[in-house]
Amino acid sequence: MSHQLPAIIFLLPLFAAISMPVVCLKNRHWSHPISVGTLVVMVLVSIINLYNVIHHGEIRYVFSGWSVPLGIEWVADGLASVILVLLSALALLGVVFSRTTSPKALGGRIVHYYTLVLLLISALTGIAFARDLFNLFVFLEVAAISSYALIGVAGGRALFAAFRYLVLGTLGASLYLLGVSYLYAVSGTLNMSDLAERLPLLLHSKALVGGLLFMFIGLGIKMALVPFHAWMPEAYTYAPDSVSPILASLVTKVALLAWIRIMYWVLNATIIINEIPILVMVAVLGALAAVIGATLALAQREIKMMFAYGGISHIGIILIGISQGNQTGFAGGVFYLLNDAVMQAALFFLAGVAYCQFGVRTVDDLGRIGKQAPWLIGFLVVVALGMIGLPPTGGFFGKWYIILGALEAGNYVSVAAVVVSTLLTLAYFVRLFEAIFRRGTTPMEVQVVEIPVSSKLTLGITSAAIIILGLFSAPIIQLLLDQAMPPRL
C-alpha cells in the first residue's frame, strides 16, 4: 500500500476538483466543507508518506507498468515528502481562511473557486513528485492556468493582473518547453535519472547549454525571480484576499523546487560545481533578487504590494542558500523555503483580515486598526520577527545556516546580500509599526470588531508555526541533511 501513497496524495484533490461542479450544482455551500475534508485527509496521508520515506526509503511510482526510461516515474523522496506536508497544510489553512473572505469577492463563483484551488493543489503535488521533464511541464501549466483563473475570478483590476501573468507565464512555459526539446534532442530521454547518467558525456554540446539556459529562464519567470518578476506584485495584490495566501506561499515555492530538481538531480552537484558555472549564476541572481526585492518593498505604500516584493526578496535568499555547493547552505536554503512559505501565508492572511474587517489597504491606513485589534498586531510582530530573521523564529535559523554555507564556500558577496536584505526588511516593517502606533486610535475612538474564528485560527497556527520551526530547527535541519540531500553533494 505504501508505494501507492504518491498517487493517493495526488488523486485526493484532483478527484474532489473534478467532482465538485457536479456534487455542488444545487448546493454551493457544500464546496467549502468538501474542500476542507479533502485537504485534511491529504495532510494525514502526506504525513504518513513522510514517515514511510524516513523509515523505509524513497517511494518510486511508475505509471501503467512502463519501466523507466520509457514510462513516467514519480519519486517520493525526502525533499518531495517534506514539501508535500507543508503544501497540504498551507492549502488547508488557505481554504479555512477563505470561508469568510471568498463569498464577498466571488459571489456566485464560489464553486469555481474551490474547484480551481483543488486543481492547483493537485498540480503542485505533481510538480513535487515528477521525475520526467515533460511531465513536469504539464503540471507547471495546469498550476499556471489554475492560478490565472483564481487571480482573475473576482474581476476588475485583477483581470488585468491575471492577463499579464498569463502572457509572461506563457512565455516562461514556452522557454521551458524549448529547453526540454533541446535536452531531448541531445540526450534522447526525458527521465531525470536517465538524463543524469547521460549528461556527463554531453557537456561539450552547445544544445545542452542552450537548453538549460532556456529552462532556467522559463522557471525563473514562474518563480518571479528578478528580473523576471513583473507579473507577481500586481497579481498577488489584486487577487481576491482568499487567493493571495495560497498563491504567495505555494506557487513560486514549488516552481523553485523544480529549479532545484533540475540543478541537482539532473545535472548533479559535480557538474554544476566543476564543469558548468550554474551555481555562480544562481548565487548572483539570488543576491540581486534579495536586495532589489527588499528595496522595492520598502518603497511601497500598499500593504499587499509590499508583502509581494518581500516574497521576491526571500526567493533570492533561498537561491543564495542552495547555490553554495555544500550541504550546509542547501539545507539552510530548503529550511528557509519552508519558513518563507509559512511566513508568506501569514502575511497575506494578515492583509486579508486588515482589509475585510477594517478596510485597510495601505500603510497610511494602518492607524485605523490601532487598539481595535491588539491580537492582530501581536501576530504581525511574530511574522515580522520571522521575516527579519530574529530568534527564536525559523527565519533566523534559516538565514543562519545560509550564511554558514556561504562562509564555508568563501562567498562573502552572498553573506553581504543576506545582511543587506535583512536590514531592508527591518526597515519596511519599522514603517508598518510606525504607521500603526503613531496613528493609532484614542480610547474614545475604539470600536469592537468581531473577527471570524477562521481568521484567528489561521493566523494563530501560522504564527505558532514560525516559532515552532525555530524551536525545532535542529531536528528539522538534521532531517533535511539525512533525507533531502541531492546526489553527490
Query: Can you read off the three cell numbers belonging to residue 119?
Result: 486543481
How many CB atoms are closer than 10 A to CB 423?
12
Instruction: Confirm whether 30 is domain-assigned.
Output: no
Structural domain tally of the chain? 1
Instruction: Confirm whether 294 is domain-assigned.
Output: yes
CB 137 within 8 A of CB 176: yes
Instruction: Confirm whether 84 is domain-assigned.
Output: no
Instruction: Confirm whether 289 is domain-assigned.
Output: yes
Q: For residue 428, give every residue at least 6 positions away whose Cβ sits within 8 Å of its Cβ, in sequence order, or none.
A: 294, 297, 298, 300, 306, 310
Query: CA–CA separation, 6 vs 186, rounded Å?
Result: 31
Which among 379, 371, 401, 377 is positioned nearest to 389, based on CA atoms?
Answer: 401
CB 84 within 8 A of CB 49: yes
Instruction: Confirm whether 386 is domain-assigned.
Output: yes
Q: Residue-wise pLDDT tens for the chain (489 aa)?
A: 567 888 899 999 999 999 888 888 777 778 888 999 999 999 999 999 999 999 988 888 887 666 777 778 888 899 999 999 999 999 999 999 887 665 555 666 788 888 999 999 999 999 999 988 998 999 999 999 999 998 888 777 888 888 999 999 999 999 999 999 999 988 888 888 888 888 878 877 888 888 888 999 999 999 989 888 888 888 888 888 888 899 999 998 998 999 898 888 888 766 766 677 788 888 999 999 999 999 999 988 888 899 999 999 999 999 999 988 889 999 999 999 999 999 999 999 988 888 887 778 888 877 777 667 777 888 889 999 999 989 899 999 999 999 999 999 888 999 999 999 999 999 989 988 888 877 544 444 545 556 778 888 899 999 999 999 999 999 999 999 998 888 877
Type of residue at 127: I
Query: Can you read off the three cell numbers belonging to residue 361?
Result: 489597504
pTM of the model as a whole: 0.91
Instruction: Confirm whether 301 is domain-assigned.
Output: yes
Query: Can you read off the three cell numbers belonging to residue 32?
Result: 467549502
Let me know how many helices (H) and strands (E) the chain has, helices first: 20, 2
Type of residue at 154: A
- How many residues can be counted in the chain? 489
Instruction: Confirm whether 81 is domain-assigned.
Output: no
Instruction: Confirm whether 470 is domain-assigned.
Output: yes
> Which domain covers residue 358, as residue numbers?
277-489
